[in-house]
Amino acid sequence: MERANDSTFPGFILLGFSGRPHLETVLLMVILITYLLSFLGNGTIILLSILEPRLHTPMYFFLSNLSFTDLCLTTSTVPQTLVNLKGKDKTISCGGCVTQLFIVLGLGGGECILLSVMAYDRYAAVCRPLHYMVIMHPWLCLQLVATAWFTGFGNSVVQTALTMTLPLCGKNQVDHFFCEVPVMLKLACTNISINEAESFAVSVFFLVVPLSLILVSYGHITLAVLMKSAQGRRKAFGTCSSHLLVVISFYGTLISTYLQPPSSYSQDVNKSMALIYTLVTPLLNPLIYTLRNKEVKVALKRLAGRTIASRKS
């Protein structure tokens, strides 16, 4: 923002949960524990996908990328939140705010596309099982993941630039626990109707379009499953239910945050939603995929067994 270009600009004040100081200690512990569990869970999935040959499949390639995205997303916001909750100093430098905004936008957009890619992968696995490895060949998987990353961060460059060049007129108090587009727009002292329209259009592209593709994929999966035997239906639903749970938690919170004008936001609700998609959903991903997936359980036991055996030897 214009004041942000001034060398004397002191940075931003992240108000976070300062309106409820009696909750800050509790939130500090809850967020820290959730972050550590999320880091452990997603790190484990990435490690298993690399070390376990049986998991060298398109599904786990996409899953490891999802885990890496979630790790980066939580790490871009949680440490600053913990620092702000611990002490009285709740400031973040202008550069830190820009970096945080850029990373959150890039990773969030990339994850939206990645989840739709994973839905297509499940469609190919259930509806085209005999041709699955031909359809989802390694080069295509790499291209799809690269497209998700480049599209997410390409949009982030534009969105961050448009947001941070708005005039502040002395406003630097961000009523949030990290720098996010809707709350940054509320600091501007100029007409932001164009920015709101642009943000809405981008949100439709990254939220509504991928979600529609996911629903279409699952529509085909449902039709294919209905024609299978009871055992086949159980296997197919088991394969897809994990991904569907992640989709519901992730898209539901983002849609409620971004597909409405900033002026209509309830900041308490907005902060709660932000906690879900930046902290809770990244924790749920490894829990859902490990607790509901026999292949991951077996791979985890094999890795633990090899580790114990190597220590004994």
Nearest C-alpha neighbor of 183 from the set 76, 82, 104, 85: 104
Q: What is the pTM of this model?
A: 0.88
What are the residue ranges spanned by the domains of the chain?
2-306
Q: What is the pLDDT of residue 8?
A: 56
**For residues 124-142, average pLDDT:** 91
The CATH classification of domain 2-306, taken from the options 1.20.1070.10, 3.40.50.1000, 3.65.10.10, 2.40.160.10: 1.20.1070.10
Structure tokens at 288: 């859902």
Q: With contact defined as beta carbons under 8 Å apart, do 83 and 127 qualify?
A: no
Higher pLDDT, 139 or 86: 139
pLDDT tens readout for residues 177-232: 899 888 888 888 888 888 888 888 999 999 999 999 998 998 888 888 777 667 66
CA distance 12 to 163: 14
Sequence-distant (6+) residues with CB within 8 A of 230 are none
Tell me the pLDDT tens digit for each residue of 266-277: 677 778 888 888
Burial label, 302 (beta-carbon count in 10 A; 0-12, 13-18, 19+): middle
